[in-house]
Amino acid sequence: MMNEREIHSLIALLDDDDKEVLDHVESKLLSLGKEAIPILESEWSKLQNTTQQDRLIQVVHRIQYTELLKDFGDWYSSSEQDLLTGICLIARYQYPNLNAQDIINQIDKIRLDIWLDMHHDLSPYEKVRIINSVIYHELGFKGNVDNYHAPENSFINVVLETRKGNPIMMAVIYILLGQRLHLPIFGVNLPQHFVCAYKEENKQLLLNDPFNLKTQHDYREGRVLFYINAFNNGAVFSKANLEQFLRQIKFEPQPDYFEACGNLSIIKRILRNLVVAYEKQKDTDKANEVKELLLAIGETYFSYNEEAPPEEED
């Protein structure tokens, strides 16, 4: 890696009008990789020329974005495809310095608040009632109906801070908390909405892993007992209610609409929502970059029936 003086000399050329010179400089800076980012950010703070600043910001972004593409590919190739890891990768697109451990700590703190009131001899409905009491009543989480399509709704750090999110991110928090409590709560990939399913509990898992060392659960196991609308204060509803919802939005019921989905499906859907959010803001560059992130996890983006804010249930 070149020394700071050489980097400084390259940055000084970022205001050059010669495209060939500029391309060469940017290529050299990009080749430095993520290890050079602290130096580049330090140099940026010293610049007085706004053209140099803007171009250096773009270089840093491209380095961070290239690293993110690689990390998404690694996540896609991993056997676990851990949900929290994938969610943090999405947040890193807008917040590249995100500390995943901070997110884990926040989730675990909420989980502890719930666990203190939880008993394993409670029924599934009673356990959900306790989760809802902590999340929605004590902590004040709620669906973001006022700014439904904002990109911020797709970033877990923002959702945890503002305690507002879209249906899928509210469901993600519900799933992460539930499974850290050994509850079989999973996502359900509905058209125009996203909810949770509470499945039959695996008593053997509780015996084999009493200290909750395993947070990955198999979404394919067991039958669905009931559904949970995390966007609407954790309202519990039945399969019949779900069928009614599908009729209202004029979708023919499909078996997949009633079954739990895996983490990959969740991450893909959040990224698709993010594309729509940026397109609504006319931010084509960001929309195209998120489409590339989708490609890294095996999906070509296509225009789809985007989510509409669901009506509140009684």
**Coil/strand/helix, residue 302:** coil
Helix pair 19-30, 4-12: axis angle to 10 deg: 150
pLDDT of residue 299: 87
Segment 240-252 shows an average pLDDT of 92
Tally the domains of the chain: 2
Kind plus residue range of the DSSP H or E element containing 59? helix 50-77
**Does 97 reside within a domain?**
no
Rounded to the nearest 5°, which phi and psi values hold at 256? -65, -25
pLDDT of residue 11: 83
Segment 45-73 shows an average pLDDT of 90
Bridge partners, 227 (sequence order):
197, 237
**Does 83 reside within a domain?**
no
**Coil/strand/helix, residue 229:** strand
Kindly state whether residues 160 and 271 are assigned to the same domain.
Answer: yes
For the stretch 280-303, pLDDT in tens is: 999 999 999 999 999 999 988 766
Q: How confident is the model at residue 43 (pLDDT cuts 50, 70, 90)?
A: confident
pLDDT of residue 216: 60
Kindly state whether residues 27 and 142 are assigned to the same domain.
Answer: no
Kindly state whether residues 247 and 164 are assigned to the same domain.
Answer: yes
**Does 278 reside within a domain?**
yes
Kind plus residue range of the DSSP H or E element containing 94? helix 83-94
pLDDT of residue 187: 96
For the stretch 145-190, pLDDT in tens is: 999 999 999 999 999 999 999 999 999 999 999 989 989 999 999 9
For the stretch 87-123, pLDDT in tens is: 999 999 999 999 999 999 999 999 999 999 998 789 9
DSSP state of 195: E
Q: Are 231 and 253 in contact (CB under 8 A)?
A: no
**Does 20 reside within a domain?**
yes
Q: pTM for the whole thing?
A: 0.87
Q: What range does the domain containing 8 cover?
A: 4-77
Kindly state whether residues 284 and 190 are assigned to the same domain.
Answer: yes
Q: How confident is the model at residue 247 (pLDDT cuts 50, 70, 90)?
A: very high
pLDDT of residue 307: 55
pLDDT of residue 82: 95
Q: How far apart are CA 226 and CA 214, in angstroms?
A: 24
Q: Tell me, what amino acid is at 32?
A: L
